[in-house]
């Protein structure tokens, strides 16, 4: 796999996450694992660069949530997850027409 471009923006990311979620025995094939691990490293680097303000995108949160046990007890991760939910809630409550996104 090449290092060009963002792993999160590649077309196979969502499919890889879906395959991993659907694995009944928790075993993930090597190609899927590589995609997810590289995407997770990318997200973690973003978070470390701006650990007090970075807000996950929906896809980043989905990936991070899949690996949540890996970061259990990590205050950087806990704060990032809290910011994601706070931001999501603020967007929903500030929607003036009352519809949900």
**What is the C-alpha separation between 25 and 75, in angstroms, rounded?**
30
Closest to 34 in 3D by CA, of 3, 78, 71: 3
Q: Which among 77, 59, 79 has a CA at the least distance from the CA of 68?
A: 77
Please check whether residue 1 lies inside any domain of the structure: no
CA distance 79 to 52: 8
- pLDDT tens track, the chain, 101 positions: 334 457 666 668 899 999 999 998 889 999 999 999 999 999 999 999 999 999 999 999 999 999 999 999 999 999 999 999 999 988 888 875 555 54
Q: What is the pLDDT of residue 10?
A: 64
Query: Is 2 among the domain residues?
Result: no
pLDDT of residue 2: 37
In a domain, 31, yes or no: yes
Q: In this structure, is residue 6 part of a structural domain?
A: no
The SS3 of residue 4 is coil
In a domain, 4, yes or no: no
| Contact between 3 and 41 (Cβ < 8 Å) | no
- Return the pLDDT at 1: 37
Structural domain containing residue 21:
12-93
What does the alpha-carbon distance between residue 69 and residue 52 come to, in Å, rounded to a whole number?
A: 21
């Amino acid at each position: 796999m090449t290092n060009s471009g963002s792993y999160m923006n590649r077309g196979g990311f969502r499919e890889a996450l879906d395959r991993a979620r659907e694995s009944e025995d928790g075993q993930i094939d090597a190609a899927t694992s590589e995609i997810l691990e590289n995407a997770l490293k990318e997200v973690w680097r973003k978070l470390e660069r701006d650990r007090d303000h970075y807000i996950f995108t929906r896809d980043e949160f989905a990936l991070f949530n899949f690996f949540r046990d890996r970061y259990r007890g990590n205050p950087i991760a806990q704060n990032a997850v809290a910011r994601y939910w706070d931001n999501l809630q603020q967007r929903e409550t500030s929607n003036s027409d009352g519809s949900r996104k």
